[in-house]
């Protein structure tokens, strides 16, 4: 069982959205405007797709002139990165809360962390798109490196799972000779594949006209149309149950 005295464990720290959003010397009004810009940016992604997130689109939505946004973001790339960091801060805080408040076994904690990630990322298309596309090089370019990007670094979710597994080994719940990195990578790859299916296959309409698709995703559209024909009855619930079972099977393989 987990030691109940073990509280407020910090697994990983990531930069806050930007110095602008958190510096004490910056007015609360300006900080609030910064948060409002991020909020509208996320709404644009949710409503019209990732490719529609531009400074002009945000300005139009907020009834502003585009130059007004340059006080906060020098390029649309900076805006993309700020939105991603916002999501990463959210999942970082939520996962650390799970760890700090969990009172069961580490086996249960590993399961909860994986299921939380799967549910969190598939509940909102904007999360998946901005997290996936920025780290895979789809973000728009910029002529100048901005202050937000200077402080940006990739965020490794695996650190949370590694922590739980290592603590499980210490508490004699898991085998000591397992390759933790390989085990996490294998299970992560399976889950990521089903996240792809949940996002791009289950929630999209049959005509695949949803603006979440980029022009470069046309090959994906062909694949998904084929999947739709081969597996017409697959549902989000089917995927959810399959993911649960695969996680449980993987955990059983490393249990003592």
Q: What digits encode the pLDDT tens for the residues 49-78?
A: 777 889 999 999 999 999 999 989 999 999
Neighbouring residues of 147: CB distance < 8 A, sequence distance ≥ 6: 18, 19, 74, 78
The residues that bridge with 255 in the sheet, in sequence order, are: 174
The range of the structural domain enclosing residue 223 comes to 85-254
**104-113, 120-129, 183-192, range with greatest mean pLDDT:** 104-113
Q: Would the pLDDT of 255 be above 90?
A: yes
Please report whether residue 29 resides in a domain: no
What pLDDT sits at residue 158? 84
What pLDDT sits at residue 3? 52
Please report whether residue 64 resides in a domain: no
Question: Which of 8-12, 71-75, 148-152 shows the lowest mean pLDDT across its residues?
Answer: 8-12
Q: Would the pLDDT of 210 be above 80?
A: no
Question: Which of 31-40, 52-61, 84-93, 221-230 shows the lowest mean pLDDT across its residues?
Answer: 221-230
Query: DSSP assignment, residue 236?
Result: H
Please report whether residue 234 resides in a domain: yes
What pLDDT sits at residue 39? 93
Please report whether residue 111 resides in a domain: yes
Q: Would the pLDDT of 247 be above 90?
A: yes
How far apart, in whole angstroms, are the C-alpha atoms of residue 91 and residue 131?
11
30 vs 225 pLDDT, higher one = 30
Please report whether residue 46 resides in a domain: no
Please report whether residue 42 resides in a domain: no
How far apart, in whole angstroms, are the C-alpha atoms of residue 197 and residue 187?
16
Q: Count of H helices and E strands in the chain?
A: 11, 0
The whole-chain average pLDDT of the chain stands at 78
Sign for the CA dihedral angle at 113, 119, 122, 128 comes to negative
pLDDT category, 81, cuts 50, 70, 90?
confident
Please report whether residue 95 resides in a domain: yes
Please report whether residue 161 resides in a domain: yes
Number of domains in the chain: 1
What pLDDT sits at residue 73? 93
What pLDDT sits at residue 19? 44
With contact defined as beta carbons under 8 Å apart, do 241 and 249 qualify? no
**Which of helix, strand or coil describes residue 55?**
helix
Residue 100 CA: distances (Å) to CA of 4, 42, 51, 113, 177: 9, 29, 37, 12, 26
């Amino acid at each position: 069982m987990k030691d109940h005295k073990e509280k407020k464990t910090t697994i990983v720290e990531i930069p806050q959205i930007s110095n602008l959003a958190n510096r004490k010397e910056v007015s609360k009004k300006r900080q609030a405007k910064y948060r409002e810009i991020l909020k509208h940016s996320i709404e644009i992604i949710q409503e019209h797709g990732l490719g529609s997130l531009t400074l002009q689109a945000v300005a139009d939505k907020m009834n502003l002139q585009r130059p007004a946004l340059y006080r906060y973001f020098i390029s649309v790339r900076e805006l993309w990165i700020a939105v991603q960091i916002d999501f990463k801060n959210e999942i970082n805080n939520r996962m650390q809360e799970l760890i700090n408040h969990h009172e069961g076994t580490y086996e249960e904690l590993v399961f909860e962390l994986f299921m939380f990630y799967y549910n969190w990322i598939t509940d909102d298309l904007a999360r998946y798109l901005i997290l996936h596309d920025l780290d895979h090089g789809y973000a728009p370019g910029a002529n100048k490196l901005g202050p937000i990007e200077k402080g940006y670094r990739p965020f490794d979710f695996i650190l949370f799972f590694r922590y739980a597994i290592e603590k499980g080994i210490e508490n004699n719940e898991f085998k000591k000779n397992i390759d933790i990195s390989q085990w996490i990578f294998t299970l992560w790859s399976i889950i990521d594949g089903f996240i792809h299916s949940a996002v791009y296959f289950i929630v999209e309409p049959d005509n695949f006209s949803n603006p979440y698709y980029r022009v470069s995703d046309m090959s994906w559209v062909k694949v998904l149309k084929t999947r739709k024909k081969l597996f017409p009855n697959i549902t989000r619930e089917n995927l959810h149950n399959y993911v649960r079972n695969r996680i449980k099977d993987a955990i059983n393989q490393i249990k003592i």
